Amino acid sequence: MDKPQAIIIGAGFTGCALAHDLALRNFAVTVVERGELTSGTSGRTHGLLHSGGRYCVNDQEAAIECIDENILLRKITKQCIEFNGGLFIALTDADEAYADTFAAGAEACHIPIERLTAAETLRLEPAVNPNVRLSFRVPDGAFDPLRLALAFAATAAKNGAKFYAYTQAENLIRDGQGNVTGVEVWDRTTGKHYSLRGDIVINATGAWAGEVAKMAGLHVAVVPTPGVMVAYNARLIQRVINRLAPPGDGDIIIPQRRMMCIGTTSFEVADIDYIPVFDDQVEWMHRSAIELVPGVQQTRERGAWMSARPLVGRAEKGRSMSRTFVAIDHKETDGIGGLVTITGGKATTCRGMAEKTADTVCKNLGLNIPCQTKEIPLESYRAFYRYSQESRP
């Protein structure tokens, strides 16, 4: 029997991890991406490998997903992740009062934590605010975004998946009943337009999922929610420093290479293809960073950038929305065959999102093939360039 043909639109974390999952389930996979791999939202993450601590009080579903995937990623790909752990630091009475709630939440989500006194905290991380009252140690990490996605893509390519970068999905091809049967694309490296046909098309475009769904006359409730991040030219900490408080703006500093990155804000915009960096938000991040690590004041800005997260779920706005993801089979929700949409989520959980989406794809096609991505170590990210030498159609 011929392999089922899957076309994935979007090569962010989700698209790359899904290509890997479906290739292992013996699909013939083609991925089209309008830019370079991870050039949309995924690449612009600040690179925090979540322990789940951030969500363990307000969004335990997301927290459990995070810690489970954090442990799995340690097993399947070490090549581009700093596993130095993280701290949640309390700076005020309110933070201190939150400690027991946090500890109970972490326990409920099986996140391993350790409570440290102020002196112990400063011994571990001398650069944090000396007014620290107490802290919790958590298994956070920091990753390189492009390389993490490339590791998934490399393994997918080794198993036959084809990746066409700089290839924009322009329209969904539909049959007489409105079912999706392929994608019309524009190869931006040559200017050629052509069609790809498949048994299933997966819309893995994250913050752009609403726009792609619209091509099939469908509505997907995703709210692109940009945030600003700022990078500094020195590394004063080894561990991720989080504020011990309910999730807010500018409350995480992530060390990475020789830098530190602070994030982030949360607002909504109409056009997400170009989001300018707003000076007032950069200023605000700078003040927040100094509060967590006062030495930031003596460092210089190395970069400032915006990234549009795809938030899905409840109808409230911004931060209060769940960070978990949805995999929508449009046959079930809208009576349109051949199209599945995956959006939401976060980098830490990309493998899990891919697993659930691939399950949805298999169910849509009446197939029963188990997921294998939990056990298989990923190829070197550089091997992507060995396995993806495939000529373009």
| Contact residues: other proteins, CB under 8 A | 35-39, 42-44, 46-47, 78-84, 142, 144-147, 166, 168, 188-192, 229, 231, 235-236, 238, 255-259, 261, 273-274, 276-277, 279, 302-303, 305, 307, 380, 382-386, 389
330 backbone dihedrals φ, ψ, rounded to 5°? -70, -15
Q: Give the residue with the Cβ less far from other proteins, 43 or 139.
A: 43
Q: Least CB distance from residue 102 to other proteins, whole Å? A: 25
Q: Give the residue with the Cβ less far from other proteins, 18 or 81.
A: 81
Cβ atoms 5, 26 nearer than 8 A: no
Q: Give the residue with the Cβ less far from other proteins, 80 or 327.
A: 80
Q: Give the residue with the Cβ less far from other proteins, 158 or 235.
A: 235
Q: Least CB distance from residue 243 to other proteins, whole Å? A: 21
Q: Give the residue with the Cβ less far from other proteins, 171 or 380.
A: 380
Q: Give the residue with the Cβ less far from other proteins, 266 or 307.
A: 307
Q: Strand 86-90 to strand 240-243: parallel, antiparallel, or no bridges (unpaired)?
A: parallel
- Tell me which amino acid residue 199 is: D
Q: How far apart are CA 256 and CA 143, in angstroms?
A: 8
Q: Least CB distance from residue 389 to other proteins, whole Å? A: 7
Q: Least CB distance from residue 74 to other proteins, whole Å? A: 12
Contacts of 393 (CB under 8 A, 6+ apart): 164, 194, 196
Q: Least CB distance from residue 183 to other proteins, whole Å? A: 17
Q: Least CB distance from residue 48 to other proteins, whole Å? A: 13
Cβ atoms 18, 169 nearer than 8 A: no
Q: Least CB distance from residue 366 to other proteins, whole Å? A: 37
Burial class (CB in 10 A: 0-12, 13-18, 19+), 28: middle
Q: Least CB distance from residue 5 to other proteins, whole Å? A: 26
Q: Give the residue with the Cβ less far from other proteins, 107 or 283.
A: 283
Q: Give the residue with the Cβ less far from other proteins, 80 or 336.
A: 80
Number of other CB atoms surrounding residue 162 within 10 Å = 21
Q: Give the residue with the Cβ less far from other proteins, 202 or 272.
A: 272
Q: Give the residue with the Cβ less far from other proteins, 279 or 332.
A: 279
Q: Least CB distance from residue 25 to other proteins, whole Å? A: 27
Q: Least CB distance from residue 212 to other proteins, whole Å? A: 16
Report the candidate in 298, 54, 11 with the shortest Cα–Cα distance to residue 166.
11
